[in-house]
Structure 1
Amino acid sequence: MTTTYTPGASSHRYARAAVHLWPARESGKRASWVLVPEPTTVPKTRRRVRGKLSDWGLAAQSDVVELLVSEVVTNAMRHSWGAVMSLAMDDGTLRCEVQDTNPALPQVREVHEGDEGGRGMYLMQALSTSWGSHPLSTGKVVWFELACEPAGTPAGAEGNGDDD
């Protein structure tokens, strides 16, 4: 199932595209932000993501998530007029989606030692569980997923921890 959110007239002028959000079954485990092409957007988004991960008990994964968020948000800010980012946690999987207004899909390209950019897709491949992109009539969505467990939750743990 896919949920669609369309910003209303009061939304920032840079983000007028429909947002394709991945549904999260866990209550309170989804967040989204409108991103505008300003110099402070990438660091501000990293701080917001770090805070949300902490709220969800996923602070241990912050470094990797922040790095990947920096990559997708930086690309969106460089190549479009704005974006919307969503973050959702469900069944041990964290998913980040960035929808922007540029229809060009990201491509892995050959990178040379002196190049200042072009390594983002390599980082996505190396650090995420899965990633991809797909076109929309209003631009594209670039996404990645990571397997994440909240702190103090052993893998395969079930129940709420109450002994009856």
Structure 2
Amino acid sequence: MRVALAAWRLDDLADDGALIVSELVAIAVQHARGRSLRVTVTRSESARVRIGVVDKSKRFPQLRAPREEDENGHGLALVRTLAGDWGTDPLPWGKRVWAELHMKDSHGR
């Protein structure tokens, strides 16, 4: 992911992108319990980078308010905070959970 962002000259998104990948993969490993998953990173012409994690579970993740005493459950809340948008797409064999980072313009927005 960092290599793709560097190639696209979007290094300023690398830290948030790495954290989003980490959280989405952790969620897939913990809840999908499958033997494989796929991570995708794509860039659109509309100033967005989409990070996706595909697994074979049809069970969609649920955003819930994390409690301080919980060690787990902060993943989607963190993704929602970092990402410009996020969601889940059903697939014939499972699902894709994705998050979008918005490229910053020359004014830092």
TM-score by length of 1: 0.59
Q: SS of the counterpart of 1:66?
A: helix
How does the TM-score come out when normalised to structure 2? 0.85
| 1:15 alignment counterpart | none
Q: Deviations over 1:5-24 (max 9, x none)?
A: xxxxxxxxxxxxxxxxxxxx
The structure with more helix, counted as a fraction of residues: 2
Question: Percent identity of the aligned residues?
Answer: 33
Segments of 5+ residues of structure 2 without an aligned counterpart are none
* Cα distance, 1:110 vs structure 2: 3.5
Partner of 1:50: 2
Q: How many residues align?
A: 104
1:114-140: CA deviation from partner (whole Å, max 9, x where unpaired): 111101111122111110002222111
Query: Structure 1: which amino acid aligns with 2:67?
Result: H
Shift of 1:146: 1.1
- Where has structure 1 moved over 6 Å in runs of 4 or more? none
Structure 1 stretches lacking a partner, 5+ long: 1-48, 156-164
* 2:94 alignment partner in structure 1: 139
* Aligned with 2:21 (options 59, 63, 69): 69
RMSD between aligned residues: 1.6
Shift of 1:109: 2.1
